[in-house]
Chain A
Amino acid sequence: MLKKVFQRPGYLKKAAFHYCPGCGHSIVHRLVAEVIEELGVGEKVIGVSPAGCAVLAYYYFDVDIGEAPHGRGTAVATGIKRSLPDRIVFSYQGDGDIAAIGTAETIHTANRGENITVIFINNGIYGMTGGQMAPTTVLGQNSTTTPGGRDMIRDGYPLDLSEMLAITRGSVYIERTSVSSPKNIRRTKRAITKAFKVQIAGLGFSLVEILSPCPVNWKMSPVDAVKWIDESMVKTFPLKVIKDEIAKEI
Chain B
Amino acid sequence: MRGSHVIGEAAARAGCRFYAGYPITPQNELTEYMAGSMARLEDGTFIQAESELAAINMVIGASMAGSRAMTSSSSPGISLKQEGISFLAAQELPAVIVNIMRGGPGLGNIAPTQGDYFQATRGGGHGDYRTIVLAPSSGQELADLTPMAFEYADKYRTPVLILGDGMIGQMMEPVIFSDPIDLRELPPRPWKLDGAKGRPSRFIRSLLLDTSQEEDLNWKLARKYDSIIREVAGAEAYLASDARLIVIAYGTAARIARGAVKRVREMGLKVGLFRPVTLWPFPKRALMKMSRHVKEFLVFEMNTGQMVEDVRLSLEGRGNVHFYGRPGGVISTPEEISNVINRLYYRQYLEEE
Task: List the interface of chain A (C-beta within 8 A of B).
Answer: 42-46, 48-49, 51, 55-56, 58, 61-69, 72, 75-84, 87-88, 104-105, 107-108, 112
Contact = CB atoms under 8 A, between A and B. Distances in A.
Contact of B196 (A51, A62, A81, A105): A62
Contacts of A81: 61
Contacts of A51: 207
B62 A79 contact: yes
Contact of A84 (B69, B194, B206): B194
A129 to B, nearest CB: 14
B194 A82 contact: no
A63 B201 contact: yes
Contacts of A69: 57, 60, 83-84, 87
Residue of A56, A58, A79 most packed against chain B (CB within 10 A): A79
B195 A67 contact: no
18 contacts: A44-B195, A44-B197, A49-B205, A63-B201, A64-B194, A64-B196, A66-B60, A66-B91, A72-B53, A75-B58, A76-B64, A78-B58, A82-B62, A83-B18, A84-B194, A104-B51, A105-B54, A112-B47
Contacts of A84: 65-66, 194-195
B196 A67 contact: no
B202 interface: yes
B54 A46 contact: no
Interface residues of B, number: 39
Given A58-B203, A83-B18, A108-B54, A75 B198 contact: no
B7 interface: no
Contacts of B58: 75-76, 78-79, 82
Interface string B212-223: 000000000000
B20 A43 contact: no
A161 B194 CA distance: 30
A65 B196 CA distance: 10
Interface string B43-84: 001010111011001111111111101000000000000011
B65 A83 contact: yes
A75 B194 CA distance: 17
B194 to A, nearest CB: 6
A154 B123 CA distance: 39
A104 B195 contact: no
Contacts of A76: 57-58, 60-61, 64
B61 A64 contact: no
Most interface-central of A61, A75, A105 (chain B CB within 10 A)? A75
A82 B49 CA distance: 13
A83 B51 contact: no
A105 B61 CA distance: 13
B76 to A, nearest CB: 17
Contacts of A80: 61-62, 64-65, 193
A78 B51 contact: no
A68 B57 contact: yes
A194 B46 CA distance: 29
A49 B91 CA distance: 14
B205 A43 contact: no
A79 B195 contact: no
Contacts of A49: 203, 205
Given A64-B203, A66-B61, A67-B203, A82 B196 contact: no
Contacts of B197: 43-44
Given A67-B207, A104-B51, A105-B57, A83 B62 contact: yes
Given A64-B201, A75-B53, A55 B194 contact: no
Interface string B16-50: 01101000000000000000000000000101011
A104 B59 CA distance: 17
Nearest to A58: B203
A83 B46 CA distance: 10
B193 to A, nearest CB: 4
A46 B207 contact: no
Contacts of A68: 57, 60-61
Contacts of A42: 196
Contacts of B91: 66-67
A82 B38 CA distance: 12
A1 B64 CA distance: 46
A63 B83 contact: no
A79 B45 CA distance: 9
B57 A83 contact: no
A64 B205 CA distance: 11
A196 to B, nearest CB: 14
Interface string B305-342: 00000000000000000000000000000000000000
Contacts of A83: 17-18, 45, 61-62, 65-67, 69
B193 A46 contact: yes
Nearest to A77: B61
A58 B194 contact: no
A68 B49 CA distance: 17
Interface in B180-237: 193-198, 201-207
A232 to B, nearest CB: 33
Given A65-B193, A67-B205, A79-B18, A104 B50 contact: yes
Contact of B65 (A46, A107, A112): A46
A58 to B, nearest CB: 4
Contacts of B193: 46, 64-66, 80
Contacts of B50: 104-105, 107-108
Contact of A79 (B69, B83, B203): B69
Contacts of B61: 48, 66, 68, 75-83
